Amino acid sequence: EKQKIEKAGLEMKNLTSEMNAETEKYLSEENDSDIVRRTQGMSQMAFLVYQFTRGEGDLKTTQDLFTQAELFAEEANRLYKEVRQFSYQVPGGAQKKELLENLDKVPTYVQQLQFTVRNPTVGKAATFTKVDNVIQGTKNLMNVVSKVVTTSLVCASKFNLEFRGSSSWSGSASAYRGDPDECGYGDATGCMPPRGGGTSSSDPNI
């Protein structure tokens, strides 16, 4: 099971590397885009999840992971809305069809990840399974986001469209740090979730 999680983490690292290369190329051409900067922030968040699978980085506990995944899903939802607005500018054709096909998958993956994060668990095995599912869900969402942004950049270049977005990306991809007494990844098979059965919270004050 640990090898499975590490494999998913490595796949996510590769996705973030590809996405960073695409977005850096766009920004290096003296373009500016809130959508691209949001994507870069999401890539940083996904990289933190990869580091977690290796027992490294700022995500120290399972609670940190779950909260980071929920923040990642929220960013993906914002990105979806911005790219949806952008898609109205794209002329009909193969590129627009591909863009919309991938874009329409984003809400489903967002909901799946949020459901997984918010699903309470009790016991060691259930917690480890949840860690696995959250990492897989984050990877799946990052994969479709990567396709959406890549196709959007192709459309922006081909049709000379603005790909800016309507709201600013804060630039923050800092990790959530929870209770230091909670278990880290290395102890994921030997820890109990927080009291009350829940392993995450959607409370905006957290």
- Are the C-beta atoms of residues 155 and 95 closer than 8 Å to each other? yes
Residue 167 has pLDDT above 80, yes or no: no
Give residue-wise pLDDT tens across range 5-60: 889 999 999 999 999 998 888 887 767 788 999 999 999 999 999 999 999 999 99
pLDDT at residue 178, rounded to an integer: 47
What pLDDT was estimated at residue 175?
53
Task: Please report, rounded to a whole number, the percentage of residues in the chain having pLDDT higher than 70.
Answer: 79
What pLDDT digit, counting tens, does each position of 56-96 carry? 999 999 999 999 999 999 999 999 999 999 999 999 999 99
- What span, in angstroms and rounded, lies between the C-alpha atoms of 144 and 205? 29
pLDDT at res. 32: 77
Q: What is the pLDDT of residue 3?
A: 85
pTM for the full model?
Answer: 0.80
Distance spanning both ends of the chain, measured CA to CA: 30
What is the pLDDT at residue 190? Answer: 35
- Asked whether the predicted pLDDT for residue 148 surpasses 50, the reply is yes
Distance CA 31, CA 36 (A): 10
Q: What percentage of the chain exceeds 90 in pLDDT?
A: 68
**Which pLDDT value is given to residue 159?**
94
Domains along the sequence of the chain with CATH: 2-163 (1.20.120.230)
Q: Which residue has the higher pLDDT, 195 or 179?
A: 179
What 3 state SS string does the chain have? CHHHHHHHHHHHHHHHHHHHHHHHHHHHCCCCCHHHHHHHHHHHHHHHHHHHHCCCCCCCCHHHHHHHHHHHHHHHHHHHHHHHHHHCCCCCCHHHHHHHHHHCCHHHHHHHHHHHHHCCCCCHHHHHHHHHHHHHHHHHHHHHHHHHHHHHHHHHHHCCCCCCCCCCCCCCCCCCCCCCCCCCHHHCCCCCCCCCCCCCCCCCCC
